[in-house]
């Protein structure tokens, strides 16, 4: 987390932006002029966790940690939060944030995390965002404000090209090879890196990791795959196929809504240059593509600051 002095003197207008994903939840505070005055990160969370008592407790604990860090800097007057898995109908989430920040619930606006990520890259109608984090999705917000998507169905169903998908593919390939030739993992830099991450080469450890960890923790295993790509052709192949999966998402929107510029963003998209290169190769030459480092929490903070300033 980046440390800043307290900036709110009781009259400053501050807006809080939150980008909550499966791996990490990032936040930023913006002033009325749009300048970011503080930011930080806490554990990942998902709106889907609200379906169980344990999940709700975990979300509230993460929110509490985030709000404690925010209030150490200043008091926001409005919040715009994008959350993975958000379906648009969970009042409890807004109430939790409002209560922790001493705000009215009407000062808290929630949406899906991909919506704020889109607005970080495009104005409505301009282009397509392909976002690869723990999961993957392509998005277009048209000039009427209607949200259109391809993918983003969840890691258990698909989300090809995301961090979870990369991790699952790596373990799947490793254990298939072990079925055919036990001990072959010792000749694979990717397997060595993956097993070091999960704690060892015994099947019970891989099983406990895949079936006992949350999706964000599993997604971080993709870091080990990317780290071995220069020395292991299988790791490189997985990353290239991930790029092709991301291209498929963009092409789905192109087929439905016509050609527009494409932006690739998200932490998983930055794992290795092979992903963006494979995606570019799978798209028509005429289709403009750019890779960007997304900071949707900054965009959300500026939107929140604008809303807060409008209340004065």
| Structure confidence at residue 5 as a pLDDT band (50, 70, 90) | very low
Q: So what's the pLDDT on residue 89? A: 67
SS (H, E, C) the chain: CCCCCCCCCCCCCEEEEEEECCCEEEEEEEECCCCEEEEEEEECCCHHHHHCHHHHHHHHHHHHHHHHHHHCCCCCCEEEEEECCCCCCCHHHHHHHHHHHCCCHHHEEEEEHHHHHHHHHCCCCCCEEEEECCCEEEEEECCCCCEEEEECCCCCCCCCCCHHHHHHHHHHHHHHHHHHCCCHHHHCHHHHHHHHHHCCCCHHHHHHHHHHCCHHHHHCCHHHHHHCCCCCHHHHHHHHHHHHHHHHHHHHHHHHHCCCCEEEECCHHHCCHHHHHHHHHHCCCCCCEEECCCCHHHHHHHHHHHHHHHCC
The pTM assigned to this predicted structure is 0.81
Digit-coded pLDDT (tens) for 96-154: 999 999 999 999 999 888 888 898 889 999 999 999 988 999 999 999 999 999 998 88
Q: So what's the pLDDT on residue 27? A: 95
Digit-coded pLDDT (tens) for 225-258: 999 999 999 999 999 999 999 999 999 999 999 9
Q: So what's the pLDDT on residue 11? A: 57
């Amino acid at each position: 987390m980046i440390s800043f002095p307290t900036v709110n003197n009781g009259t400053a207008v501050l807006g809080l932006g939150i980008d909550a994903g499966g791996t990490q939840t990032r936040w930023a505070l913006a002033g009325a002029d749009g300048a970011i005055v503080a930011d930080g990160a806490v554990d990942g969370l998902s709106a889907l966790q609200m379906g169980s008592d344990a999940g709700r407790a975990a979300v509230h604990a993460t929110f509490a940690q985030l709000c404690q860090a925010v209030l150490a800097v200043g008091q926001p007057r409005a919040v715009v939060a994008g959350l993975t898995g958000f379906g648009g109908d969970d009042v409890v989430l807004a109430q939790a944030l409002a209560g922790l920040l001493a705000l009215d619930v009407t000062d808290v606006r929630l949406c899906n995390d991909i919506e704020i990520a889109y607005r970080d890259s495009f104005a409505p109608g301009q282009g397509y965002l392909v976002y690869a984090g723990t999961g993957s999705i392509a998005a277009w917000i048209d000039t009427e404000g209607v949200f259109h998507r391809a993918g983003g169905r969840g890691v258990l169903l698909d989300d090809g090209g995301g961090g979870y998908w990369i991790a699952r593919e790596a373990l799947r390939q490793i254990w298939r090879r072990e079925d055919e030739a036990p001990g072959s993992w010792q000749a694979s830099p990717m397997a060595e890196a993956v097993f070091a991450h999960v704690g060892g080469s015994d099947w019970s450890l891989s099983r406990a990791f895949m079936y006992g960890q949350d999706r964000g923790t599993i997604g971080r295993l993709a870091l080990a795959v990317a780290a071995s790509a220069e020395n292991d052709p299988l790791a490189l192949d997985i990353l290239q196929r991930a790029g092709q999966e991301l291209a498929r998402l963009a092409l789905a929107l192109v087929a439905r809504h016509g050609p527009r510029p494409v932006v690739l963003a998200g932490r998983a998209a930055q794992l290795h240059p092979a992903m963006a290169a494979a995606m570019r190769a799978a798209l028509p030459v005429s289709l403009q593509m750019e890779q960007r480092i997304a900071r949707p929490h900054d965009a959300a903070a500026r939107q929140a600051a604008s809303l807060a300033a409008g209340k004065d």
